[in-house]
Chain A
Amino acid sequence: MDMKNKVLVSVVSAVGLAALVAGCGTVSGASGSNGSSSSNVITIGTLYASTGSYATSSMPEYAGLTFWANQVNAQGGVTLSNGKKEKVKIVSMDDQSNATTATTEYNQLITQDKVNVLVTDFGSVLTAPAVPIAQEHKVVLFDQSGTGSNFFTPTNKYIVLTSLQESTLWADSLAQDLIKNNTKNIAIVYADNDFDGTQNNTVVSQLAKAGIKPMIDESVPTSTSNYTTIVHNIDQKNPGAIIELGYQPNDTAFLQAYKASGVKVPIVFTIFPGQLPAIFESQFGASGLAGVSTYPTPPFINVQNVNYGMNLTQFESAFKSAESSLPGHPTGPINFLDVAGYNTGLIIQHTLESAKSLSQSNLRAAVDTFSGKITTLDGNFQINSEGAQVGEALPTGHFVYQNGKLSMVVDAN
């Protein structure tokens, strides 16, 4: 290139850079600031994954949150502590299950869209990028389902886990169930990520207290899509239980290998059939899930004494009739992640109602005022001093197939 061309390229690049940067993220932009709302609208910034490995979990959660926003707005909005009603507006961006993209978008929601409330995408991997950014900008992070124990530290005052217990607590009921049944020859296979690794640690340590040592305790890459060899290797040792801890794609791949192998083990446990039963039913049929153990969640668990928001029956009915207006147009029976998204909305709503102002410190302080006092369709909402969820306990249960119908029997609380 000669000098003339170089100058031309430089000028075009500079103009392009400025134009592109100016245009970044404006498509889903919203007005307002982190400290106050404008135009009587409170902005709720969130991410979702329409594609990629977390899409099947992220989209129902997003639909649940959107459902809550629509419900609140239909009633005129959220009643703030000053008596004023303000509507809510979801400002959302698609991270496509990519943590790098999520990093950019969380920053966009905070610094450009200046949302009043920040809500994470599904799971720990897509929550992790938001944790330091929110802390740095002193924005409260409403963490829907990122249960990684690393997120909750005494130095971080800006995180609240809304819809699931911290992952170290998840496996308590599973371990107690195994101990109670005096299960021998336990084989554990877990995906090497924070969510599954911490559950494995909990099970192993609880079993150790009861004098039980799993005969197999192995990790596999989270990207594992074929468990055939693993299942056959475990079968050689005559297991009494196989505990497979993974994300939904891991659970599907494991159950496929287990069913195809013809191996029969008294207890087979996986996590996600209890949260996303429709997906697993479509993959294995209702009869194919019979006997599979899992963590039953709403709608399998019908929480009693709900004192905030809809109960399960009301939610099922209202959600089904609103399906066509929700992102992803969910069909079929509701699942736990629909409930989790709605529950996050309820926690945000109660926070806004209780807070003295919309400043982030007041929002965070407001959460503490009702922690342990409200019960939603997801259970008793209770956080510890680090913002980790310690209520909303998960029991264990197993699927039963009778008279052409799939149901759940709860084993241990």
Chain B
Amino acid sequence: MRKQTTIDLSISLVLVLAFVALPHFYSNLTILFMMAMYMVLSQGVNLLYGLTGYMPFGYVGFFGAGAYGFSIALQHLHFPIVLALIFGVLFTSLVGVILSPLLRLSGAYFAIGNLATSQVIYGIVANSHLQGITGGGDGVDISQYFNQTASYYVMLAVLLVVMVGIIWVKRSSFGLSLQAMRDDSVSVAMSGVNVVRNRMLVWLASAAIAGLCGAIYAWFISFFYPSSVFDVSIGIFAIVFMLFGGQGTIFGPVIGTIILYGIYNVIGVSTPQYFQLAYGVLIVILVMFLPNGVLSLFKRGRRAHGRVLESRPNF
């Protein structure tokens, strides 16, 4: 187990180091930033859905809340960047606490309820009556803090921390309890696990990850409207990348993001019609033949290999 953890940590470190090196070979920092950001966001979804079974279709609500929490801290509280990022996370966590009754729902009801609440947050932020605080529909201009390079490296640091966190959760008894809760929460509760507390912790951790991503994204672009940071497609992308790679796995969201976001940038931008068709077909194939994601292919291969060894005649 310890050896496995060391390998996982090493791969995570190599991944982040690759991102550190890439700007020296490729100067479009936005693509690299977005790829790292989606990896973190997918891990946030992975934490919630992969380990507890709650599908957050409105995940972008936390992302947008983080972006606005960060901006408010900069513009109105005049915090330095680091404190503003922390404020963004705390603000998102507060939103998470307020929305925690959603956890009483499950399945499709939770997914729809979560989507609806994200739109409610969007509506509140964009409302002209809050213009003095959020900027309302006029958007946010924090361009005096614009620093793409610094925000990129902060995002990489967050990616590393989140990867380490996911590895720890997967290996810990806490993570096992989450997976058990996903399968049968009643039995787990009867075994003495505090189901409500654990669910709440994961919910808040997942919200904080999205909030931190939103805050760094706001810093990265520094000029945005509510529609830019509450764009539902941001949350949907994170979910699809996680599902494609493999839910509940450590590297599934990373693989999913590299493949799908890469494809999106290569062909989705130039020929969106073909891309949407290709994306649609890919997702249908995924759901039908690989419901556990691309990484499950390797597990299948490993099991098949094991069966071959077992059935081999013992001479």
Contact = CB atoms under 8 A, between A and B. Distances in A.
Interface stretch (B106-114, B265-273, B280-288): B265-273
A94 B270 contact: yes
B272 A103 contact: no
B111 to A, nearest CB: 20
Nearest to B148: A136
A189 to B, nearest CB: 11
B266 A99 contact: no
Contacts of B263: 20
B262 A9 contact: no
A192 B223 contact: no
Contacts of B279: none
A215 interface: no
Interface string A189-215: 011111011100000000000000000
B18 interface: yes
Given A9-B295, A93-B269, A98 B258 contact: no
A132 interface: yes
Contact of A99 (B8, B225, B267): B225
A24 B255 CA distance: 17
B302 interface: yes
Nearest to A28: B270
Chain A CB count within 10 A is highest, among B29, B131, B141, B251, for: B141
Q: For chain A, which range describes its interface: under 10, 10 to 19, 20 to 34, or 35 or more residues?
A: 35 or more
Query: Is the interface on chain B under 10, 10 to 19, 20 to 34, or 35 or more residues?
Result: 35 or more
Contacts of A136: 146, 148
A27 B263 CA distance: 13
A194 B137 contact: yes
B196 interface: no
Given A111-B29, A124-B139, A192-B127, 13 more contacts: A2-B302, A10-B11, A17-B18, A23-B265, A25-B265, A28-B270, A93-B270, A104-B269, A107-B30, A108-B31, A128-B225, A132-B146, A148-B138
Interface of A: 1-3, 5-6, 8-10, 13-14, 16-17, 19-28, 50-51, 93-96, 98-101, 103-108, 111-112, 124-125, 128-129, 131-133, 135-136, 148, 150, 155-156, 190-194, 196-198, 219, 221-223
Interface of B: 4, 7-8, 11, 14-15, 18, 22, 26-32, 34-35, 122-123, 126-129, 131, 136-139, 141, 143-144, 146, 148, 221-228, 231, 233-234, 251, 254-255, 258-259, 262-263, 265-267, 269-272, 295, 298-299, 301-302
24 contacts: A9-B255, A13-B251, A16-B258, A20-B263, A21-B31, A23-B265, A25-B269, A25-B270, A27-B267, A94-B269, A96-B272, A104-B31, A104-B265, A107-B30, A129-B223, A191-B137, A193-B137, A194-B139, A197-B128, A198-B138, A219-B136, A221-B123, A222-B126, A222-B227
